[in-house]
Chains A and B, each alone.
Chain A
Amino acid sequence: MNLEILGISVLWLFLFGYVIIGSIDFGAGFFNAYSVLTGRQHILTHIIQRYLSPVWEITNVFLVFFFVGTVGFFPKTAFYYGTTLLVPASIGIILLSIRGSYYAFESYGSRGHKGYSFMYGVAGLLLPAALSVVLTISEGGFISLRNGQPVLDYWGLFTSPLTWSIVVLAIAAVLYISAVFLTWYANKANDVGATNLLRKYALIWAIPLVIAVIGIMVELRRHNPDHYARMVEVWYLFVISAIMFVITVWLIWQRKNYGMALTLLVGQFAFAFFAYGISHYPFLLYPHLTLYDSFTNKAMAIALVIAFIAGFCLLIPSLYLVLKLFLFDKDYIRGKENGHV
């Protein structure tokens, strides 16, 4: 394996991490706001806050890690994506800021502020939309070079059916992932009311997820035939993903083994995510930028890999500690102790 592949694999892995834990976060915000508006707050809010409060900052770091790593390994991406993403990324930052500050403000300040929970919930839906625009752009066709500078075709982007199918997928996936995770978490907390409600959400959001995936396949075939052809080459990965999805939904339907359902959910998205990534190879931005012509020099690549390994040795035990304390600690999940400072 060469350094380019290693670099992008590491980054893709972190982006995957962000997709999963970010989705739980975004979706939870939406369900929380929805429950406030429909007067069912007492069912969900405790479960959601107990999980999210200690980890919101960690969630954010996954994203920071991804974009800092991308510019580090592939400095040319700063030139193409930096210039063109100013507006969507800035909107993303503003939404992230609203969410990031919400936890701290909410946990310690004005508990139960309706307007803020609402904004928070809406931000949770707009964020995946704003961030997924990057995926659409990477498919090519929206960036052209004018006087040697990349320019984004906003009109083309907003009127493209591909954009909207990716946005729908992002939102549906967020709500589905979040609902499955929270079903498991609520069940672990022996909270029957929350489990039932979240189980219902999980089943509901499975439907648009399937529709959006089919929509994207159709659109991509038209928009970027090369990419589509490469996706067909790794069809078996998508099939594994689909099988995992079906079993997850079945388990949730049968109300059994939520832990297995959660594992399969992660597996399903991992296979789909990596299959998508592999078929995108070798382009970072079709057709302007490949993995190879944007890669940093060898000395920096080696330094980054070493830093990455060293950093990982620090992070894995720490993350394990977090999981042990907040995800697998029965007393904490059930809220027997109100532990925060």
Chain B
Amino acid sequence: MDNGNAVYYSRVLTELTLSFHIIYATIGVGVPLMIMIAQWVGIKKNDEHYILLARRLARGFVITVAVGVVTGTAIGLQLSLLWPNFMQLAGNVIALPLFMETFAFFFEAIFLGIYLYTWDRFENQKKHLLLLIPVAIGASMSAVFITIVNAFMNAPQGFDVVNGQLVNIKPVLAMLNPAMPTKVGHVLVTAYMTSAFVLAAIAAYRILKGSVHIYYKKALFLYMKLGLVFSVATLVIGDFSAKYLVEYQPEKLAAAEWHFETEKGAPLKLFGVINGEEVKYAIKVPYALSILAHTNPVAEVTGLNEFPKDETPPLYIHYLFDTMVMIGTFMIVFSAIFVFGKIKKWKFISSNWFRWIIVAGGPLSIIALEAGWWLAEVGRQPWILYKYMKVADAATTSEHVDLMLVLFCLLYLVLGIGSVVVLLRMFRKNPIEKEIADRQADRSGAGL
């Protein structure tokens, strides 16, 4: 049976869908929390600007959530359409979190609908806050459950294989697999971090474009603070993830680090290019890989040469690893300077060049996010179900995957352009100055 083409196109289509989906999904997980915090700060400080911030964010959020929902539906179905053999096997063990994810999604959808369409029905802002809590919880929980499915693919457990049959299935044990804590933690905090930096970038951009309203300064400071907190959390959990890899998936870390020979006191390689097994132009940090892997500078780190050649991932994942880590580190340092400088009233953080970097921070965070997912996914090649099923055995045998790839490319193009155009138009037509003026007009109208 030769389905090489179908395997290739299935991989490309899955990658395309996921790469597109995670941008909207990450915003979908992070932004509800950001809206909730803005609403909460607004109530606590009795400051209407934060309430307006929550309201305006929610309006933009509808657009991203719509694209997130439809692309999420797409990947949900594509799992069965493109990888039927995988779903047939894994469905026996991992259906539970998939099922629970739909409940979380349901829960979020219900309260998001209520929140969006009951605005101004309640006088009390606390009721709006109460509606936001299930939205934020539902959004984060669906990320938790779907990440558990992904963690299971990396560290399958909760079943035995007897004569090719899966027996002794323990659904809860499958969910609590060793990859789960670090994966779930990392996904959640990076979603919050990315959302915070994207929102900070928007605020900084408005200020650069000449908006002098205090609203943007408040938003900028709030989201840079949150960004700092979540990027530090990302670093900590990222470190745990590396230690997890050493224990359970050493070939992924070895490939990401271009670490070929098993050795003690292993150096960390930053940047560089590779030609065969020869690494050029890399910065070597002595002992750093041993520290990263075992918190011990002389500990032994398993090299890539210890693994069969057909079971190691492609070496280009090193570039992805570098991209992710560099951006993450940069964002921590940068947001720390901003927050510290703001408290100390340093002048340069209000300069234009500094604000342009904040603007760049939004897209950079998204690039880091993509790089991180590609690293995690390509890093477990050739397995779809680590040590149990290879990608090539999981794919569909249909001959029409290439045509579907073209169709979905067009769809994502339309959705991507459409969402950006609608968002831009929405906020350009109704800048904050206008909205505040309108609200005041409404108030005095109501008062008369």
Measuring CB to CB, which residues of chain A are less than 8 angstroms from any residue of chain B? 53-55, 57-58, 60-61, 63-65, 67-69, 71-73, 75-87, 89-91, 93-94, 96-97, 100-101, 103-105, 107-110, 147, 149, 151, 296-297, 299-300, 303-304, 307-308, 310-311, 314-315, 318-319, 321-322, 325-326, 332, 337, 339-341
Contact = CB atoms under 8 A, between A and B. Distances in A.
A86 B117 contact: no
Given A61-B105, A73-B95, A322 B55 contact: no
A83 B425 contact: no
B159 to A, nearest CB: 9
A86 B408 CA distance: 12
Interface in B84-111: 84-85, 87-93, 95-96, 98-103, 105-107, 109-111
A57 B114 CA distance: 11
B84 A78 contact: yes
A322 B113 contact: yes
A96 B67 CA distance: 11
B91 A57 contact: no
A300 B65 contact: no
A73 B172 CA distance: 16
Contact of B63 (A83, A86, A108, A321): A108
A296 B91 contact: yes
Given A86-B81, A109-B421, A339-B119, A58 B106 contact: yes
B418 interface: yes
A307 B116 CA distance: 28
A61 B109 contact: yes
9 contacts: A57-B109, A75-B87, A104-B66, A149-B1, A297-B169, A304-B96, A314-B103, A321-B110, A337-B121
A307 B103 contact: yes
A151 B403 CA distance: 17
Contacts of B113: 54-55, 57-58, 322, 326
A64 B106 CA distance: 9
Contacts, number: 235
Contacts of B423: 109
A64 B102 contact: yes
B117 A54 contact: yes
Contact of B105 (A64, A94, A101, A325): A64
Interface in B7-61: 55, 58-59
Contacts of B69: 57, 60, 100
Contacts of A72: 91, 95-96, 98-99
B426 interface: yes
Nearest to B172: A303
Contacts of A303: 96, 171-172
